Chain A
Amino acid sequence: EVQLVESGGGLVQPGGSLRLSCAASGFTFSSYWMSWVRQAPGKGLEWVANIKQDGSEKYYVDSVKGRFTISRDNAKNSLYLQMNSLRAEDTAVYYCARGSEGPDYWGQGTLVTVSS
């Protein structure tokens, strides 16, 4: 059974940093593009970033470029999102998802709240 379990969310002050993790199981992690998608409270879905199977290609939505870094460790079946210079508008549930052009499995999400 495919499972994606996010962790690392929490309350952080504006300008602060947070590192999200996603533990994958039930499939060959190294064979898939992986993505982060977020959802602000009561709002719709927004793509954040994705990363190729071997980590050689990474893409970011403009609003997080230069502040967020996506990475992966295929030996640990894990996906990461390093978030720096956080802003109030980054407040959202962050989902880890398998795939790129149409993610077929999603985690349960982890809530990031940016507030003073």
Chain B
Amino acid sequence: SAVISQKPSRDICQRGTSLTIQCQVDSQVTMMFWYRQQPGQSLTLIATANQGSEATYESGFVIDKFPISRPNLTFSTLTVSNMSPEDSSIYLCSAAQGIDTEAFFGQGTRLTVV
């Protein structure tokens, strides 16, 4: 298994500002992902963070709004840009060793935009 540390655990931000969330894994992993869980809804995949190249975004998510970095096999960041109250959500980092293996999750970042 992998232990994933995510920070900050929560933040309250002003609209129009940006927040960068960090995700650190205690071992090298093949895959890292970013999810969002809006109130009362399921986990929705934002993007797959690719090491050394641009992230792969799911439909409805764009790089300008959610830039992602993955400089190595243990670390990734997600930035929520130009925030609005609709971005208030829990953001979760996830990591997996490969296809058909379980994914592990960080504890999440609870973001409130006011």
Instruction: Please say whether chains A and B are actual partners in one complex.
Output: no
